[in-house]
Structure 1
Amino acid sequence: MAVYCIRILQKATRELERLDKPIARRIAERITWLAANLDDIRPEPFKGNLAGLYKLRIGDHRVVYEILYDEKMIVIHQVGHRSEIYRRR
């Protein structure tokens, strides 16, 4: 079981900082969990405009990420409430 590196893009960092602290902490914990368990789960892909990216559901919030398998890296593109994530693109 490989642990993936996590890269959070600047936009996603700003979005995470704007969230309430308990929600942001919960999301950060799930991202860490994802990096440790990615080989054991089936990532949930987006369809349509976000095709090629994956989503991580944390309650009503979503993390939009990309998997770079060759580099063993997860790139976090967006973090936010589901209504904002689906409306943006």
Structure 2
Amino acid sequence: MYCLDFTPQGRDSIKSLDKQTAQRILNKLKWFIQNLDNITPLPLHGNLSGLYKLKQGPWRIIYEIDYDTKTVIVHKIGHRRYIYK
């Protein structure tokens, strides 16, 4: 199973959300790291190349995967309208 870690920006992103939304996103992340071996990550392009996205309703979670340490590192969480700008 994979571990979950946050960059400082990722940690600030989750703290800025209301409690209910943050809990939904954390639940999605827990599910994701438990099932990552059976999921194909959605890669990003352009200036976010090398990162992946995870969808939770209108929210997007931008993350990277360190396969050597089996860690998912969350970089940023935000509404789909603003996350890629």
Residue equivalent to 2:22: 24
Question: Any unmatched runs of 5+ in structure 2?
Answer: none
Residue equivalent to 1:73: 71
Residues 28-86 of structure 1: CA deviation (Å, up to 9, x unaligned): 00111111110001000011111110000001100000001111110100011112211
Residue equivalent to 2:9: 11
- The code of the aligned residue for 1:46 comes to L
TM-score, L = length of structure 1? 0.91
Is 1:55 aligned with 2:30?
no
Identical counterparts, % of pairs: 44
Moved over 2 A (4+): none
Q: How does 1:29-48 map to 2 (within 5 A)?
A: 29-48=27-46
**2:77 counterpart SS class:** strand
Supply the distance in 2 between the matched residues of 1:6 and 1:52 (Cα, whole angstroms): 18
Displacement of 1:9 in angstroms is 1.1
Aligned length: 85
Question: Any unmatched runs of 5+ in structure 1?
Answer: none
Task: Name whichever structure is richer in helix by fraction.
Answer: 1
Residue equivalent to 1:83: 81
